[in-house]
Chain A
Amino acid sequence: MTPRLRFLTAVIALTATLAACRNYLPTNRFLQPRPASQENQSTGDARHKFNHDHHAKILGAQGVVCGDCHRFDAKIDASAPPLATAASAAALYPGGAACHYCHGPSDTRIAAAPSACTTCHSNLIPLMPENHQVAWLRVHGATASADPVACQNCHRDAFCINCHQNRDSILTFMHDRNYLSFHSVDARANPIQCGNCHRIDFCTNCHAHAIK
């Protein structure tokens, strides 16, 4: 068996072993299984950000009255009090459409209303656009240059900097530690890619030392 075949066999065996452990992991009071989170399935966290006092002036100026957002005519079956309470609360809650009417994205957006998703939403995972799902690392540059405002709806500068400027760290990020051994082969295969992150100083600082 060649070394490569041995390695491949080891990889498959390790993968299978690790994956098979899932159902046999011990649990006790120190090793509590992590519950399946419900947080990522809803954008409902935003409803708690709404402040009537903060909106009263602007809504009043726009002629918006309570009934424009809230339904008070919902008929609740009072025979089941807990259910009636929940249903009543749900009926009164206007939903995201009411917020987005002014804050966008919509044609009715008010220019003075903050439009970034992060204005109200702290859980952004359910809001992830569909175009982020496929080849996004390749595509995002074109999107960012065509419409940078779209990025700022959810991301701060730090999100970009964390990848584009975060080099020479004690951490590994894009390249594993062994990349140093064969980076020259990769650089010759696609020299554009190096320049996406590195300046020429990154090359010359080491290679100049070697020449000396």
Chain B
Amino acid sequence: MTARCRIGILLCVLATMLAAAPVSAIDLRVEPSILGQVRDGDGYFPGPTEVPVELYGDFGLSGLPHATTVDTYFRLQDDFANANNTETDFFTGVLRVPSAPPGLDVQLGRQIVAESPVGLWDADSGQVRVGFGQTPFSLTVFGGQPRYWEPIFSSPSQSQNEQIFGGSLRVAQYTGGALALGYLQQIRQGKELMQQLTLSGTRAFSSLPGVPSLYGNFAFDADHANIDEVRLGVQSSVWKPQLQINFESGYYKPQDNGDVVIQNINRREDAVFQLFSISNELQFRGGAHYALTRTLSSYADLSYQRYEQSKGSYINGYVWSTGLLYLPGGDGLEVVRGEYYGVDSGGGTVNGGKVVYENRVYENILFRAMCNVGYYQKATHQDGTAVAGLVGLGYMFLPGLVAEVNFEGNKNQFYPEDFRFGFFISYSAGYTTSGGIHRDTIGNQWRPWPWAPAQFGPAAWGPAPATWSANPSLPASGWAAPQFASAEEARQASAKTDGTGTDAAGSAPHAGEPP
């Protein structure tokens, strides 16, 4: 069954449910986005001009009995210059009944199954979660068949005949944390790859200076009698909130294969990792973020990895980045970020710089520019400079409705003669029956970002730099962020919320608190 058929069936089911239920009780959410691009044929696979168009959809229903929700998410891709290029369509959708009966949470469909600390699967699966009254205990059982949308250009070389089964038991719950025991069985092509016993947890210590938070994972493979993963980290503020640090160490060994390279990739637990390593990998990393002023902050991140590439040959890898984040005006409407990054490993070295600029100062106009220049010297004696540049201009016709034009200029070894130019136009809209146009999600959480937003800093620092704490008006992410309100709407919202903001801080839940 093709993705289009599945989507059609789902839409029919949704329409039937909608027609059969009281209209006033159901909220229908429709958030489609369409993006198109014109570009030269990829140099690695020479061809004519490509005109890919992608349609993203996020349809959902809420307000059903027992707080039931239906959520879907799909992408259809077509290359208008090559009608057969539709291999990367994907579709997910899940029906969730969170409280029928109370304490029992049932989810069915193609959904994220994330109960293992060593992996996240999007699987055709079912999940049942049981809460035990006022106790911290919560039991989750799941099982299904994972879905993968790679490869892109050819038939899969790794089997998709795979099943996973497992469960987890939350045994403790803290302020800002929880502890859970888990079990996971993974089967591929009828053969068991692993049976993992896991322990994962996080805990924040709010009474200690800096409010440090510990997190960690442990996974033991009972089949191979070896430890698959141990990861332990801490994040904390130091010297008031201005300086924030994060340290982490990890051990990873997906399979106890010793010195033997497993030829059959379907027998490998982590086929990508086992391309490079016959041993475990040790990792240490640390990062810091320091707010120099209310509008200017700096960050740095360094990680070190060590593993055995072949018998007696060890690889030491270093990855680092450091940069400045400047928020002129402090309101997040204008962002400037400059970054220096580098990589050093057995494969060579990379040194590069990146500048990102984003401007949403005007109510209807959006502008951004990005330039990334990387100089590399590979162990294969190849060297060169690779450039990626982008300039984008967007116009907001209505709150939530944004059209964008972006121009790209790229230069690398695949396009040695000239820069590569392209443009794409994107358009997104959302509507709910209860709230009209859904400004707070359009272009933000559900719509894919045209490029990593300026706030989306190095991996160590997540989407929200420290300076945001003092300025709650800043957006969460993306340039089409929630505050796409006209001046009049902003005034109305301000008037409506006048005097009601006092519960904001007090009622904000911490992740891990009981639902």
Chain A residues proximal to chain B, CB less than 8 Å: 3-4, 7-8, 11-12, 14-15, 18-19, 22, 25, 30-45, 47-48, 86, 89-90, 93, 95-97, 100, 104-107, 109, 111-112, 114-117, 119, 122-151, 153, 155-162, 164-174, 176-182, 184-192, 194-195, 198-206, 208-209
Interface status of B201 (Cβ within 8 A of chain A)? yes
Cβ–Cβ contact A38 & B490, under 8 A: yes
In the complex formed, the residue of A with least CB distance to B412 is A181
- One of B112, B153, B246, B500 near A93 (C-beta < 8 A): B500
Residues of B within 8 A of A127 (CB): 504, 507-509
Told that A149-B515, A189-B317 touch, could you supply 17 new A-B pairs with CB distance under 8 A? A36-B473, A39-B497, A43-B507, A95-B503, A109-B515, A111-B103, A114-B67, A126-B472, A133-B466, A133-B468, A137-B460, A138-B233, A170-B35, A178-B387, A186-B347, A192-B252, A209-B153
Residues of A within 8 A of B200 (CB): 142, 145-146
Cβ–Cβ contact B386 & A178, under 8 A: yes
For residue B230, give the distance in angstroms from its CB to the closest CB of chain A.
Answer: 12
A188 and B348 alpha carbons, distance in the complex (Å): 9
Residues of B within 8 A of A187 (CB): 276, 347
Between A and B, 8 residue pairs with Cβ closer than 8 Å are: A40-B482, A42-B501, A116-B515, A137-B462, A147-B202, A149-B515, A182-B376, A202-B152
Interface status of B430 (Cβ within 8 A of chain A)? no
Interface string of B169-197 (1 = CB under 8 A from A): 01001001111101000000000000000
In the complex formed, the residue of A with least CB distance to B268 is A200
For residue B315, give the distance in angstroms from its CB to the closest CB of chain A.
Answer: 6
Interface status of B256 (Cβ within 8 A of chain A)? no
A124 and B506 alpha carbons, distance in the complex (Å): 14
Residues of A within 8 A of B275 (CB): 191, 200, 203
For residue B250, give the distance in angstroms from its CB to the closest CB of chain A.
Answer: 8
Interface status of B231 (Cβ within 8 A of chain A)? yes
A36 and B277 alpha carbons, distance in the complex (Å): 52
Cβ–Cβ contact A137 & B509, under 8 A: no
Q: A33-B361, A38-B494, A40-B473 in contact; A114/B244 too (CB < 8 A)?
A: no
Residues of A within 8 A of B180 (CB): 145-147
Q: A147-B173, A200-B271 in contact; A43/B462 too (CB < 8 A)?
A: no
Size class of the contact patch on chain B:
35 or more
A187 and B379 alpha carbons, distance in the complex (Å): 13
Of A106, A139, A173, most B-chain CB atoms within 10 Å: A139
Residues of B within 8 A of A195 (CB): 270-273
For residue B132, give the distance in angstroms from its CB to the closest CB of chain A.
Answer: 10
Interface string of B336-347 (1 = CB under 8 A from A): 101000011111
- Stretch from B1-9, B10-18, B440-448 forming part of the interface with A: B440-448
- One of B182, B451, B496 near A171 (C-beta < 8 A): B451
Residues of A within 8 A of B176 (CB): 129-131
Cβ–Cβ contact B217 & A201, under 8 A: no
Q: When A and B form their complex, which 7 residue pairs have the shortest distance between CB atoms, in order from nearest?
A: A44-B500, A189-B317, A136-B462, A96-B503, A42-B501, A178-B386, A37-B483
Q: A142-B201, A146-B200, A147-B173 in contact; A134/B466 too (CB < 8 A)?
A: yes
Residues of A within 8 A of B351 (CB): 4
In the complex formed, the residue of A with least CB distance to B354 is A176
Of A3, A11, A117, most B-chain CB atoms within 10 Å: A11
For residue B284, give the distance in angstroms from its CB to the closest CB of chain A.
Answer: 11
A167 and B150 alpha carbons, distance in the complex (Å): 8
Cβ–Cβ contact A134 & B515, under 8 A: no
Interface status of B384 (Cβ within 8 A of chain A)? yes
A202 and B149 alpha carbons, distance in the complex (Å): 10
For residue A23, give the distance in angstroms from its CB to the closest CB of chain B.
Answer: 8
A32 and B362 alpha carbons, distance in the complex (Å): 6
A177 and B409 alpha carbons, distance in the complex (Å): 9
A33 and B148 alpha carbons, distance in the complex (Å): 45
Residues of A within 8 A of B112 (CB): 157, 160-161, 164
Residues of B within 8 A of A124 (CB): 440, 476
Q: A159-B445, A176-B370, A176-B372 in contact; A138/B412 too (CB < 8 A)?
A: no
